[in-house]
Structure 1
């Protein structure tokens, strides 16, 4: 076992354990901070796999922007940041849905990457000269070619899913605001007319 494989497995264990903490921590701010650890360790996994571009995009976009935006929204909306009440009757349904979703995701990933391995223990060599050559795994040109040739349909579908999530968040937040508005007093209504 090489040092890269050991570091990869340590980062993977950190990713999984911090992701579990994200969804089990009752405090929203603590969950956001555990999300920083999760996304940072995923970026570390990308670095170990020699995908430097993806790692730095992960750090800049997700850790640097999304988590900061999430914390900013929590602070601006004055959402309750303390422990949530544990009296939910949806826990069995949530458990079934999460196990089913995880099973489908694992099945799709296993079938999609079946037989595909990245060997970190040896450096590739030129078949003609035998000299070691640099791997083109994580550079921007390789990623761009892969996204816009082989994965263009998946890239477009992902953008539609993200757009739908954005529209759904706007609709849900609009409904919450209308419901949370206090009813105006009759004296306030009279003053607003005058």
Structure 2
């Protein structure tokens, strides 16, 4: 809405200067060209926020997909342990499966606990050699699980970075936004001071 209003102001300002035959300025010598620059900065800020929000959404989708995959693998690994290693210390050490709604720290803690249990099991020479290293569906290994956890960690970092950058872009955008709103008020007063109420331009002061 302000963007549209600013363009109306700029158009009126241009016609006012044409009518007066000279350039006019606001408080602090602020000119029409400066308003053009500030409007461009505002538009850049809006674009930056839009890009930031899109990146947050993309990273959130990646995070959710990885969590879903890892929690599925968690169930598969737990079931394999029950099937082949139920009476061992490894099965007893399996952590509680994290709920899908849990935050970053608790989710990663449970996943990393399981990857360590899996790693220890693979090197336990007291277990049958034909059951080690343990794999689950489609030959998925402990190394695969560790790699997916690393990918999830990286996604959490990327998501946090995107959130901080978007917040900063919003803050940066608010500066020209508030400044332009003030200039609109000043321009309205200036136009009224330079025009007669009977002038055609007076009736169209934004």
Larger helix fraction of residues: 2
Fold agreement, TM-score > 0.5: no
Max radius of gyration: which structure?
A: 2
Q: TM class by shorter-chain length?
A: under 0.3
What TM-score, normalized by structure 1, do the two folds share?
0.28
